[in-house]
Amino acid sequence: MRSAHPIEDAVGIEYYVSDADGIDGQLRVDPSDFRVRELEQFETEPVDADPGPYPELVCRVRLENWDTNDFVRRLSDALGISRERVSWAGTKDKRAITTQLITIEGIDPEDLPEIRGADIDVVGRAGRPLTFGDLAGNAFEICVRDAVDDAPERAERIAADLRDFAGAGDDDSVGVPNYFGQQRFGSRRPVTHAVGLAALRGDWRGAVRAYVGNPYETEPEATQEARDLVEAEFDTDDPDWEACLDAMPNALRFERSMLHRLQETGAETDADWRNALEAVPSNLQRMFVNAAQSYVFNRILSERLERGLPFDRPVAGDVACFADGDAPAELYAPDTDRLQRVSEERVRVMERHCERGKAFVTAPLVGTETELADGEPGEIEREVVDEVGIEPSDFDLPGDFGSTGTRRAILLRTDLEVDDDLWFEFALPSGSYATVLLREFLKSGPLEL
């Protein structure tokens, strides 16, 4: 197997499936090169439905070069309402053309403003706002520019390898390990999992240090210098947090918030260090633990690859899940609420389900309620959990740091079309990463994705 990029290796992504050379190239040369269309599972009423029981106006927005959060801020300002009255299922990146639903509470169609780079079409009304659970997946059209001259031939060789990995036979579906992509951990500075792992081990001081210190060469020089100062102060008996705060760039507001708490309250106990870590928003606190779970998951997948165990079908001891029967037709979507332990006697039955795209092998996102697999898959899971120095009970943490855990499909499968102009068309279930598929084709490192 071909080894992954060193930055990927740091987050548990250790291999490529295909040994073929990549096509190189660039993504997002122009926003129109990256098109994302949400696939939702959300029922609406007609637009003339009574606003009493249906207060949410449902709109489909097509955005060019707009981050979803920035667009919502602009929309709510134009409407003169709180951002809390605008809801959506998935946040989209800026340098792209994206299409998604939003709901707006207490607004009529004639109130909608015109916003440059945004087309807003009224779809209907609903009795509740959109949530993340309404997002089934995303359909992608992505163009790779400035690739090598023989890129179409290389792309076909890679696609053939990925079809074999998916166990797809003669159809167009390909498969890759369902890794959590680099952006889960920080593309230029992958540290969120290190913060989470330290917190899970009860090392709140180490968690703060991993986030505020810990410089990376991919950061601006002033940022590296500020983090170097933090590291130096951590090694003294009487840290000067005020000096660290003065050095930390204003743009790094979360780091500054932690340092401000250390300056105000000191850092003498575990409670003080945890208080500093809790200076960041609750969603980021959850992300620390989620990233730790994701790192462990990636490590489990890499070890399974190294041992040569299949991803497209189970072996004895695996835990499989069935497909989501309500998902849009474009998706191979798992339903991890419907789990099945695969005994020796059940292997062949579950193999057939997996061959038809009706079931998937899973691995754990470890939490307090996690039950690990049996056989060799369970051996892998236990070894990785032991190596990173955690166990399921460690996730019994206060506030937003706790997690009960779940399981996740290990194979990301999709129908893929690639033309000679290197337009890639495919659809993925929510929670999976387009970059995890595209990395197999480009092989140019995560910062280029």
Choosing from 9, 67, 93, 203, the catalytic residue is 93
DSSP assignment of 17-81, as one string? Answer: S--SPP-EEES-SSGGGEEEEEEE----B-TTS-TTT--EEEEEEEEES--HHHHHHHHHHHHTS
CB distance 214 to 191 below 8 Å: yes
CB distance 161 to 17 below 8 Å: yes
DSSP assignment letter at 115: B
Exposed e or buried b for every residue in 76-113, given b needs 16+ CB within 10 A? beebebeeebbbbbbebebbbbbbbbbbbbebeeeebe
Catalytic: 246?
Answer: no
CB distance 60 to 124 below 8 Å: no
- Beta-strand relationship, 406-409 and 145-147: unpaired
Exposed e or buried b for every residue in 42-69, given b needs 16+ CB within 10 A? bebbeeeeeeeebbbbbbbbbbbbbbbe
- Beta-strand relationship, 97-105 and 34-40: parallel
CB distance 404 to 365 below 8 Å: no
Query: What is the C-alpha radius of gyration for the chain, rounded to an integer number of angstroms?
Result: 23
Q: Between vectors from CA 286 to CA 285 and to CA 292, what angle results, nearest 5°? A: 100
Which amino acids are annotated catalytic? Answer: 93
